[in-house]
Structure 1
């Protein structure tokens, strides 16, 4: 049994005659008849009854056709998959992001990306930067967005952006009246800190130490969006990533620049050779466009 024989059998079934089957396959009628006869010999039972010059499927032929048709449906799916890969890359893109960008800039990029590639499927997971890096290295995700404290060895990467930190201040706090917040303003002030390994936190605490200022650390959290929520509740002041602040000003949280500047730097991480995949390139373009539109 070979594919051409099965194709001839299917063509006769769906077209109804040998002549139409020959047209479908682009061969002569004798070739179709020969291929069907060879298939019958191979399977060991008659696929058609010959009635007055017509081929009528036998019950065995009908039962065999159901499996043949299912196989061809699978082949059609493979053709569709090949077309998606040719036109859009893999047809699916898996993205992992740090939390600061996962609720703001990345969803906007997904929207922009899908305007161009509506048939592509996006998987988006939000996790810590260290987890983003590890999952990309392990091949679980095609693209990652992570903070600069991650280990960049063994992973393709490029700088995504460097964003100046903002100071998040409860609306009733006395420092909300200031135009700029400085290290000395944190002396004795309740302070919501990011994770100990966060580079922006380390920069902030270095500036405070240099100024002889001692903030009163009351809580640590790895997520800037959580730090904003805590600040809104009046728990303390926080130094936060500006990517994470959407919606909080409307709820009353006050944001002020911090000087000297503290930066949240982030990287795009890729699986090996994933930068060459068309869907990954398109998603990176969408991320950059959203970043630039801020």
Structure 2
């Protein structure tokens, strides 16, 4: 079966807007053109994708399944188009920074805003992503500066490594808050919210419990520190979290305590070795490193 991208794009737009008119406006083509693309798709797939209800097109269950796959394709191409646009429009007055999600919900926006305060003509390109993707972006020249978690996949960066200490987050009102410092022995019966098994905080926490000879009870596995903290706030368990996620969360519902032995998170600020930094990028790099060093851990046992 040979499906055309334009058919999938029209289908995606109809699901999102609920009407042929809305899809036509979103894609900038005629309503008959949208209807024709949908008819072609239904004919090729031999699936009924919509029912009409009060002037709107309601997706069938089959359409719901198809949309989950199509959504990834359509949004992925949108990201490619944006990447091409960013590469085409790079300019000396543009700050280009990428960071992992943990730094993107408060730390980095505040730092960029402070940097931009006396630079009114500066434009900003900022994205948050997983660390491997950030390395690819910096390598490709899409971003001048990246912050990512170690390890580095490519031997093509100038890097500055900063280790930050995680803190144990407890649900508000937890009896464990009476302790000034928490250890594996005190936490043996507690359910943990954790990042995936390949994440450095997962491995290092597991090692701390193994070294103490204490069982480690993991209850929820997820992929973002922001999600980890949300589960703690819901009372699902405790978690070791980076200070950025904790310091810039204003919803409350948790308290923090030091954990010993300390579990460290290794971050790297990277730039491409193959490209000189712009003057603007160099200035921001200095500001970023100064700010990150305020979070740098002093190794403790």
**TM class, shorter-chain normalised?**
0.5 to 0.7
Distance 2:250 2:259 in 1: 17
Q: 1:255 to 1:140 in 2, by over 3 A?
A: same
1:97 corresponds to which of 86, 96, 99: 99
Cα deviation, residue 274, structure 1: 4.4
Is 1:271 matched with 2:280?
Answer: no
Distance change >3 Å, CA 204–CA 236, structure 1 → 2: same
> Which residue of 1 is the match for residue 189 of structure 2?
188
TM-score (norm 2): 0.63
Shift of 1:247: 4.7
User: How much is the aligned-residue C-alpha RMSD, in angstroms?
Assistant: 2.1
Question: Structure 1: which 5+ residue stretches go unaligned?
Answer: 1-84
- 2:213 matched to 1:212? yes
Q: C-alpha displacement at 1:114, in angstroms? A: 0.6
Q: Distance in 1 between matches of 2:198 and 2:179?
A: 29
Written as runs of structure 1 = structure 2, the 5 A alignment for 1:161-200 is 161-200=162-201
Residue 238 of structure 1 pairs with residue 239 of structure 2: yes
**Counterpart for residue 287 of structure 2:** 286
Q: For 1:152 and 1:204, how far apart are their aligned partners in 2?
A: 27
Total equivalences in the alignment:
206
Q: What is the aligned counterpart of 2:143 among 141, 144, 152?
A: 141
Contact (CA 8 Å) 1:97, 1:127: kept in 2 or not?
yes
1:257-288 per-residue CA deviation (whole Å, 9 max, x = no partner) reads 01111111211111234453211111112213
- Is 1:128 the equivalent of 2:108? no
Give the TM-score normalised by structure 1.
0.65
Classify 1:199/1:293 alpha carbon distance in 2 versus 1 (closer, same or farther; 3 Å). Answer: closer
What stretches of structure 1 move > 6 A for 4+ residues in a row? none
Change (3 A) 1:158 1:184: same
* SS of corresponding position for 1:146: strand
Counterpart Cα distance in 2 of 1:248 and 1:109:
16
Counterpart residue number, 1:158: 160
1:107 maps to: 109
CA contact 1:105–1:290 (8 Å) conserved in 2: no
Question: Does the aligned pair in 1 maintain the 2:96–2:281 contact within 8 Å?
Answer: no
What SS class does the counterpart of residue 168 from structure 1 fall into? Answer: strand
Cα 1:248–1:174, aligned 2, differ >3 Å: closer, same or farther? Answer: farther
5+ long unaligned stretches in structure 2: 1-89, 296-301
Matched residue of 1:110: which SS? helix
Contact kept in structure 1, 2:106 and 2:248, CA below 8 Å:
no
Task: Deviation per CA, 1:191-216: give whole Å up to 9, x if none.
Answer: 11112222222111101011112222
Give distance in 1, aligned partners of 2:208 and 2:276. Answer: 37
Judged with a 3 Å threshold, the aligned counterparts in structure 2 of structure 1 residues 99 and 254 are, in CA distance, closer, same or farther, namely: same
Q: Deviations over 1:87-135 (max 9, x none)?
A: xx71112211011111222112201211232211111111111111122
Max radius of gyration: which structure?
1
What is the SS of the residue equivalent to 2:113? helix
Contact 2:156 2:272 in 1 (8 A): no
User: What corresponds to 2:25 in structure 1?
Assistant: none
